[in-house]
């Protein structure tokens, strides 16, 4: 069995000076985690990362991944699909195209149908209305970050928490490219969350 608390505590990449933060942060963190977890957990990491390859984002991918045995992966990509479809619907309205054009919508009779309404829909749609691109992207990533927290709930040391770290690290690396200061703020937030986890746990022999 993996000792996830020790894996999380043993990630020196989280202790780096934020002045050294770069766009490779997510890859560095992921590589470090991969070296510490089991073969089966590495398979979960690979599955999570499949969705970061644009060519994979099609109906077959979502149908398959929404049946994954891991709850974090299922719920993360259910939200990802809903948010992507919200973006497409917004673009369709702006371009006067059919509302469902280019959306990924499963057949209602399918085993895992598309869920059109979701809790964060109002926040996502409000963010999409922002005229400033960086503000819009910041707000959308804030919704995603909060959704990761919501999926994890009260979990403290588990593989799903580690998958959440990896997903958050991808957000951070994107912002290091778009706006380094925002990237640094997000990195500090992640480090604070990890440290807060340890401060809130009492260890016994």
Q: Is-contact 23 177, C-beta < 8 A?
A: yes
- What confidence score (pLDDT) does residue 115 get? 56
Distance, CA of 93 to CA of 89 (rounded, Å): 6
Spacing of C-alpha 160 from chain mean position: 11
Instruction: Note the helical H segments in 51-120.
Output: 59-65, 71-94
**Token pair 């702006």: residue:** 94
Q: For Cα atoms 7, 10, 16, give the angle at the middle one, nearest 5 degrees.
A: 135
pTM of the model: 0.89
The string of pLDDT tens digits covering residues 158-194 is 999 999 999 999 999 999 999 999 999 999 999 888 8
Of the candidates 2, 1, 4, 3, the residue with the CA atom closest to the CA atom of residue 161: 4
Q: Can you list the residues of the chain whose pLDDT is less than 70? A: 1, 107-116, 197-205
Distance between terminal CA atoms of the chain?
18
Tokens representing 138 are 């910041």
């Amino acid at each position: 069995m993996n000792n996830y608390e020790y894996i999380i505590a043993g990630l020196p990449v989280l202790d780096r000076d934020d002045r050294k933060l770069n766009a490779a942060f997510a890859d560095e963190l992921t590589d470090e985690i991969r070296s510490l977890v089991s073969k089966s957990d590495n398979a979960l990491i690979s599955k999570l990362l499949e969705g970061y390859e644009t060519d994979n984002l099609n109906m077959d991918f979502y149908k398959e991944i929404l049946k994954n045995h891991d709850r974090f992966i299922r719920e993360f990509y259910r939200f990802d699909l809903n948010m992507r479809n919200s973006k497409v619907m917004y673009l369709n309205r702006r371009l006067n195209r059919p509302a469902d054009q280019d959306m990924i919508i499963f057949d209602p009779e399918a085993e895992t149908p598309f869920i059109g309404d979701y809790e964060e829909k109002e926040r996502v749609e409000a963010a999409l209305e922002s005229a400033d691109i960086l503000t819009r992207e910041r707000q959308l990533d804030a919704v995603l970050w909060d959704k990761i927290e919501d999926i994890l709930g009260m979990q403290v040391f588990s593989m799903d928490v580690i998958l959440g770290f990896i997903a958050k690290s991808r957000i951070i690396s994107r912002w290091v490219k778009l706006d380094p200061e925002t990237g640094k703020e997000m990195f500090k937030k992640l480090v604070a969350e990890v440290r807060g986890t340890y401060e809130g746990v009492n260890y016994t022999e």
